[in-house]
Amino acid sequence: MRIKITMLMLLLSASTHSSWADSNEVNLYSARKEALIKPLLDEFTRETGIKVNLVTGKASALLKRLVTEGRNTPADLFITTDAGRLHRAREAGVLQPVSSQQLNSVVPANLRDADGYWYGLSQRARPIFYVRGKVDPQQLSTYEALADSQWKGRICIRSSGNIYNQSLVASMIANIGEMKTEAWAKAFVANFARPPKGGDKDQIKAAVAGLCDIAIANTYYVAKMLTGKDQDLKKAAEAVAVFWPNQQDRGTHINVSGIGMTSAAKNRENAIKLMQSLVSEKAQQWYAEANQEYPVREGIPESPTLQSWGEFKSDGVELSKLGELNADAVRLMDRAGWK
Ligand code: FE
């Protein structure tokens, strides 16, 4: 009798385990919050009958988990933000290349890995936000010009440990070279109103509170402040205006959230189907709007808030370059005294 029970338990555990690699499922690790992605996955399941098992977590924790689990990871797909992080995942060996004509034709070349290790799903820009009435936008022009002494003690930006700033600096290295970027960074840091602290929203709040006149922040933070329920955040966001830097040359720095297939993926076909579904017209519109981001797919309307900020020219540098230059950017920021 005891033997029979053990056998039964073994069978049961084997069947639960194999459900992760069942042909009618796909397993996704996502560094984005469940609410920002779940409705899309449910829609995918309704349309294809493929069940999506979703695990959400912090970007660095999920990457660590993928590395630790190695070949045994149940994950078929990994979603995270910032090309710097996506590139890190590729470097860590947890992704495999995907070759899909559909993905390649929908996702612009600069917003995906050239070898197919990851694809952008949404775009965000990192422009300048200035306090209305305190800064004449005529005084603003480029990221480079923020090194000018007229901005002494007037700039708020988060720390150099943050991937968004690392990618911004990497984009400058890619565009103007390391020497010019380093000289810029030193003068830029000297203009900080305070030692960097907090996230992007905190920079906007600090500016509105009078601690600085200019803040650098990702677009979706400010758009969410404007459209969210928190009245204080809304007021703060209303007190600033966006300025798109570098419109006369390379364009404003942008980045993506993106997806890649894990090197240990067992449900490859389902995974590719889900990737393709996430860049469909319907998914692109919902995903971009829910996150207050810009779609990667052409011809998809932006959220009303983003539309109100107008069109802008974005830096067309290949985002995978920013990943390649990440270590250089980190060292440069350190030398420049960017805390
Ligand atoms: Fe963010």
User: Whose CA is closest to 216, among 149, 142, 288, 290?
Assistant: 142
Same domain, 156 and 274: no
How many angstroms separate the alpha carbon of residue 17 from the centre of ligand 1? 34
Say how many Å lie between the CA of residue 76 and the centre of ligand 1.
Answer: 24
Residues 200 and 328 in one domain: yes
Q: Domain range spanning residue 143?
A: 125-253+318-335
One domain, residues 36 and 105: yes
Separation of 42 CA from ligand 1 center, angstroms? Answer: 24
Separation of CA 337 and ligand 1 centre (Å): 23
Whether residue 310 is contained in a domain is answered as no
On whether both 279 and 233 belong to a single domain, the answer is: no
Overall domain count for the chain: 2
Cα 4 to middle of ligand 1, angstroms: 53
Q: What is the pLDDT of residues 15-32, one digit of tens each?
A: 444 444 557 999 999 999
**What six digits make up the tokens of 230?**
């928190």
Q: Is residue 306 scored above 60 in pLDDT?
A: yes
Calculate mean pLDDT across residues 118-136.
Answer: 98
- Output the average pLDDT for the chain: 94
Return d(Cα 285, Cα 273) in angstroms, integer.
18
Do the domain assignments include residue 311? no
CA of 247 to the centre of ligand 1 (A): 24
Q: Give yes or no for residue 321 having a pLDDT over 70.
A: yes
Query: In angstroms, what is the span from residue 291 Cα to ligand 1's centroid?
Result: 10
Are 238 and 286 in the same domain? Answer: no
- Across the range 309-315, mean pLDDT stands at 98
Average pLDDT over residues 32-47: 94
CATH no. for residue 327? 3.40.190.10
Give the distance (Å) from ligand 1 centre to CA of residue 48.
31
Same domain, 67 and 57: yes
Same domain for 298 and 220, yes or no, is no
Distance 263 CA to ligand 1 centre (A): 26
Do 189 and 59 belong to one domain?
Answer: no
Instruction: Judge residue 96's burial from the number of C-beta atoms within 10 Å of its C-beta, 0-12 exposed, 13-18 middle, 19 or more buried.
Output: middle
Q: Which one-letter DSSP state was computed for residue 25?
A: E
Is pLDDT of 268 > 70? yes
Predicted pLDDT of residue 10: 46
| pLDDT score, position 22 | 53
Contacts of 319 (CB under 8 A, 6+ apart): 83, 110, 111, 112, 120, 167, 255, 256
Q: Per-residue pLDDT averaged across 284-308, rounded?
A: 95
pLDDT > 50? residue 5: no
Give pLDDT, residue 19: 45
Task: State residue 1's pLDDT score.
Answer: 45
pLDDT level of residue 14 (50, 70, 90 thresholds): very low
SS3 257: strand
* Residue 204 shares a structural domain with residue 235: yes
| CA 218 to ligand 1 center in whole angstroms | 7
Region 222-240: mean pLDDT is 98
pLDDT at residue 23, rounded to an integer: 74
Quick check: 11 pLDDT over 90?
no
Domain identity same for 186 and 277: no
Give the three-class secondary structure for 251. coil
321 CA from centroid of ligand 1 (Å): 20
Q: What is the pLDDT of residue 111?
A: 98
Of 1 and 88, more confident: 88
214 close to 207: Cβ distance less than 8 angstroms: yes
C-alpha 173 to ligand 1 mean position (Å): 22
CB-based contact 167:322 (threshold 8 Å): yes
Residue 215 sits in the same domain as residue 175: yes
CA of 38 to the centre of ligand 1 (A): 18
Q: Per the domain annotation, does 114 fall within a domain?
A: yes
CA of 201 to the centre of ligand 1 (A): 10
Q: How far is the CA of 217 from the centre of ligand 1 (A)?
A: 9
Instruction: Please state, in angstroms and rounded to a whole number, the distance separating the CA atoms of residues 279 and 274.
Output: 9
The strand pair at 51-56 and 25-30 is best described as parallel
Q: How much distance in Å is there from the Cα of 313 to the middle of ligand 1?
A: 21
